[in-house]
Amino acid sequence: MGASRLWLAVVGVLVAVSGGTDANADPGARVAGEIPLGGRAVQLDVYSPAMGRVIQNKVIKAVGAGAPTIYLLTGAGGGADGISWWDNTDVRGFFADKYVNVVMPVGGAFTLYTDWMSEDPSLGRPRWETYLSQELPRVIDGVLGASGRNAIVGVSMSAASAVDLTIRGGKRFAAVAALSGCPWSTDPAGIGLASAQAVRGGGNPGNMWGAPGGPGWQAHDAFANAGRLAGKTIFLAAATGLPGPADHGLPMPPVEAIAGACTAAFAGRLAQLGIPAVHVHRPTGAHTWGQFETDLREAWPHLAAAIGA
């Protein structure tokens, strides 16, 4: 099968079953509103100059100033569909006694949380890399008096995004956890896997990073750029796709088996480079929030040690 046909085939399969730092970012990112959500939790609305609109963020504030921050990204729907860490897990209970600010952006469906090169008729001109790597951290550090030490966690679609943001973000993120996702490469399968997410939202992958396989895609190739993760804390987790106790009997399409293979391949790439990483390959797990929450709890001690939480 030719490369182009393989790419289209992978896109078709994933659509059927289906989650560069801008150095000139406008410093005008600011809080546009705050809504109490109970306890130390608030909805923090932040204006993004890069995207020209206000972005909602669910935030659990740490007790006292000077705490580090963990950013939790969600899956393909961006959390606006009511499917997220906030909606589907006990993040409020888990982080209640932790010395860390927890930030959960809402939005970014099917965008891969990246900066798109061109305007897209369906998805517009997303600038999520600029928002997550520059604008939002500046606001959080200023408003909450945070330490500037950050970790980022991605799940499903955003697992690869979290790796990409950590690679491209310089010192912004000291630690990353990629859960049940597929770090991108510029081979046909990798292009297809990344493209499938944009296609699900009606977007044109060519508007994201330009011609598939070209320089724009190579700049986001996690395998080619993995060396830039040296010195960072890395936690990778995925499972086989076989339902287990954490899934609570919920049926899911066979996405997790693909994620398990991708995650193992990326762990192998890091090992080849001599970059330490924690890699958890679970014998059961079917791409459910029960599995994701289990992985987050296991990742936390590693992330906490990296950011001083």
Q: What is the reported pLDDT for 256?
A: 86
pLDDT above 90 coverage of the chain, percent: 80
**pTM (predicted TM-score):** 0.89
Unique residue bearing structure tokens 């909606």 = 87
Q: Average pLDDT of 260-264?
A: 94
Q: DSSP secondary-structure letter at 83?
A: -
Residue 115, sorted as left (phi over 0), alpha (psi -120 to 50) or beta, turns out to be: beta
| Segment 80-125, tens digit of pLDDT | 999 999 999 999 999 999 999 999 999 999 999 999 999 999 999 9
pLDDT of res. 285: 72
Please report, as a single letter, which amino acid is at residue 218. Q
Question: What confidence tens digit (pLDDT) does each residue in 9-36 have?
Answer: 333 433 333 334 444 444 599 999 999 9
**Residue 253 pLDDT:** 56
pLDDT given for residue 240 in this prediction: 84
Question: What burial class does residue 171 get, using C-beta atoms within 10 Å of its C-beta: 0-12 exposed, 13-18 middle, 19+ buried?
Answer: exposed
Q: Which domains does the chain have, with CATH numbers?
A: 3-307 (3.40.50.1820)
Average pLDDT, the chain: 89
Nearest one of 221, 200, 238 to 19, comparing CA atoms: 200
Higher-confidence residue of 152 and 244: namely 152
pLDDT of residue 1: 42
Residues 76, 77, 79, 81: what is their CA dihedral angle, to the nearest 10 degrees? -160
For 6, list phi and psi in degrees, rounded to 5: -65, -45
- The two three-digit tokens of residue 44, written as one number: 């923090």
pLDDT average, residue stretch 261-285: 94
Segment 37-44 shows an average pLDDT of: 96
What pLDDT shows up at residue 146? 97
From CA 71, how far away is CA 105, in angstroms rounded?
8
Q: What is the pLDDT of residue 247?
A: 59
pLDDT tens per residue across span 211-258: 999 999 999 999 999 999 999 999 999 988 777 676 565 556 578 888
Reported as half-sphere exposure (CB side, CA atoms, 13 A), residue 231 has a value of: 7
Q: Which helix (H) or strand (E) holds 16?
A: helix 3-17
Instruction: Work out the number of other CB atoms within 10 angstroms of the CB of residue 42.
Output: 17
170-183 mean pLDDT: 96
